[in-house]
Structure 1
């Protein structure tokens, strides 16, 4: 059987590892199933404070980005910008020979004619083949990329859109789809989160899914984290339980996450005659909470978890003889799981007098 080499570009809607030939002069792997944290880690030069992803048919992807959410509205009608580009350069693209190379085009509609468009080709890193109608077919597995940039104005920062498309010749067939899906994404985002909040946030990320659900993440928004817990501890030869209420102010722009709280402790014993009794002591505390990124849990909409804390407390409610007046409590915390913490402590009064260690296990948030 005669096998003929066909130099054609096939649409690969099911490709899971296409290439994005858009960052600098190199090819990098690009997974169209975007995960915000993974995407930012893998492509730090591409994602900026506001990035919206619109998943199109056949594995094509549209990315809209700007420094603020309000600025991204400059490209909220991507079909209009795509139509302007196609009317000017569509005939040139259609005349290009069919190859498996990736085509990267950068277009600025407001620039001079000599600077309005730049073309680059990126070779496919390896040859891939399939059999179609008993003929050997060379497959195109790199995406073409169209970047359209709107320059900054007096009132608005610049905004950009990226169209990652199997074949740039198919652009006219995507105009209506880009308009409808982008409008739907923005509409649903603003129903879920106020645009003012989105714009104040250092980072907003939105995603259009194939089932028409929308995920919105304000990774940059500040939030107050409430951490109630109960604990069991051993302090100064006594077992005690406590009820804890802590509050952490998560400030996105700050490396320090301040924490305040109140710990009410209960010591149980037997009085004369065998009658059980208990005394209460209460500490107010202030300190820092430490976080680390994780893909397993979310706090709010952030893929983070509490990894520990360090606090200094002062005795404000004293009963019994467990503590002296003016007792201080220095406590650290280490998360054993999302709901269990080990908290070593040191109690002292005055200037580190009468030091005594303690240990608690807390269950809670």
Structure 2
């Protein structure tokens, strides 16, 4: 018994997501020119021409209404860039330009230039010309107030063959595309041959998932521990459980759905007296298979399992409290106190649903 308690305490102390990753320190430059981490919930791509593309990143689709005139923003950007035009004159280097307009309407520009480690050339009709293969990237970063309260960042990004091609798109096309996205995004989406979802009413607008949702959910392995208390017939039975859960998304097509598979060892404790009249604890262990499904975690929205099912089998029996070969089914869990506490209805039975006994269990996760 002492060994089991020590083991449970050890596993509880390491409960959490099993992962190892280094976090890069956030610099003042990152805070100025990069999107805040885990804020964006929607991402859309808009095809332009000549292989050029535009990317739209938002917290809420409703923010588009407050962004304003994108064509005008592009023209203002090009005007602000004129004093720096000489620094962009090297046509063979690829550029990344970050353009930030803050709440006080102050503008900040960052320019990065890079070159490939190799030289590329185009030979045509005996003429040799240097060849640029990488596109230029221009980011427009700003923010709007949502409902007059929360500040929502947004970013429009252009991936173009040459940064000065951006001027040709500020002729009303960009505003038209944003208007099309804003008014049609909640309609039908079609999966294209490229594997992406395309807006049926405007096929040039696409996203990885329908309606542009971003899923933060990847495949994860969790070590979980919990304590519980339930009724069985006229007994009051405490328990604890230890096991692993796999959060799977890569094997499923729809990554907006969270699938959880778990395997748990669960000792249940009955208190009684032995043949000598001495108080004794009788341990009855279940091995439990668990499956849950629900919406994947989104920024600002916690993942919740809308459907759960568990099947348990009695693998260790002490005393005469439970019949040999007892099974237990749990169907559905109600979340309490921010999701760490669950209430689950149970059904115990043996010999193919003979002697069915209902119960209810309160589970507290660590």
TM-score, normalised to structure 2, is: 0.46
Using structure 1 for the length normalisation, give the TM-score: 0.46
